[in-house]
Amino acid sequence: MKLAALQMVSGMRLEDNLAAARGLLEEAARAGAELAVLPEYFCLLGARDTDKLAIQEPFGAGPIQDFLAGAARELGLWIVGGTLPVTAGDGTRVRNTSLVFDPGGACVARYDKIHLFRFDNGTERFDESRVLERGSAPALFTLTARDGRAWRVGLSVCYDLRFPELYRTYAAQGADLLLVPSAFTHTTGQAHWQTLLRARAIENLAYVLAPAQGGLHENGRRTWGHSMLVDPWGQVLAEQAEGPACVLGDLDAERLAQSRRQLPALEHRLL
């Protein structure tokens, strides 16, 4: 199955970001992809953390969700909408939510980012908990490809990548593919991004697809990019350093089975 990690450099206007996302989704569809995954905050990287509150949507309704459902239906794609702000409680905080739409435009899975990023190196400071409410549960769905094969797919977002127990939960449930839509900072991405992605693939003997924000944004923030597809043996199959891009690759069922046969580590777990 062909799939696409869509790398973006999202700005501060929702309409412009949706137009850029649509262009990349169309490119993925023309290339024969069956699954296209957008990065974290594909719809907005604002000047302030609180800017996302202005575009929040209740789950099940809103222009961003309508955009994703319409694109999936019109292009015949499975689409994972990296993340968008979904209303939590009274709307003073939101969930950082990843939604999955099937080719008919139906929303078939939802994952709310569990681990909230906090970082302070004296120059850069981030604390997602000021605006975000954490999710509480993993989410895994089944994608049936055009050839009839069913792929088990585990959802995660960005900072979740540092918590291997989430991905082990997915492996225990038979995940073949792990998705990591992200907006890693340039600092942390340069240090750890590829190492962590390859580790999650190797230890769980699964494919990992990681679409990212990548470049210098309108708000002055610089994200690491390097969207990539990693195979179950830890090989990077496709990668884009910076800038908007449609990063294409293939899932190979036999390669997955071979990796698990020759090193049956998943059968040797004690915990």
CA angle centred on 161, ends 158 and 162, rounded to 5° = 120
Pairing of strands 118-120, 125-127: antiparallel
* Residue 43 annotated as catalytic: no
3-class state of residue 91 by DSSP: coil
Q: Which of 158, 239, 242, 246 is catalytic?
A: 158
Q: pLDDT digits over 254-266, tens only?
A: 999 999 999 999 9
Q: pLDDT digits over 19-30, tens only?
A: 999 999 999 999
Distance CA 129, CA 143 (A): 32
* Residue 158 annotated as catalytic: yes
Distance CA 106, CA 69 (A): 6
Residue written as token pair 């999955």: 100
Query: CA nearest 40: which of 98, 103, 105?
Result: 98
Q: pLDDT at position 269, please?
A: 87
* Domain boundary assignment for the chain: 2-263
Work out the end-to-end distance of the chain between its first and last CA atoms, rounded to an integer number of angstroms: 32
Each of the 271 residues of the chain gets a pLDDT tens digit; together they read 999 999 999 999 999 999 999 999 999 999 999 999 999 999 999 999 999 999 999 999 999 999 999 999 999 999 999 999 999 999 999 999 999 999 999 999 999 999 999 999 999 999 999 999 999 999 999 999 999 999 999 999 999 999 999 999 999 999 999 999 999 999 999 999 999 999 999 999 999 999 999 999 999 999 999 999 999 999 999 999 999 999 999 999 999 999 999 999 999 988 7
Q: Which of 43, 57, 113, 242 is catalytic?
A: 113
User: What architecture is domain 2-263?
Assistant: 4-Layer Sandwich (3.60)
CA distances from 54 to 18, 46, 92, 94, 131 (A): 16, 10, 10, 10, 12
Q: pLDDT at position 98, please?
A: 98
Distance CA 39, CA 8 (A): 7
pTM above 0.75, yes or no: yes
Q: Which of 40, 57, 128, 242 is catalytic?
A: 40
* Residue 113 annotated as catalytic: yes
b or e along 14-46 (b: 16 or more beta carbons within 10 Å of the residue's beta carbon)? beebbebbeebbbbbbeeebbbbbbbbbbbbbb
Q: Which two tokens mark 60?
A: 């099940």
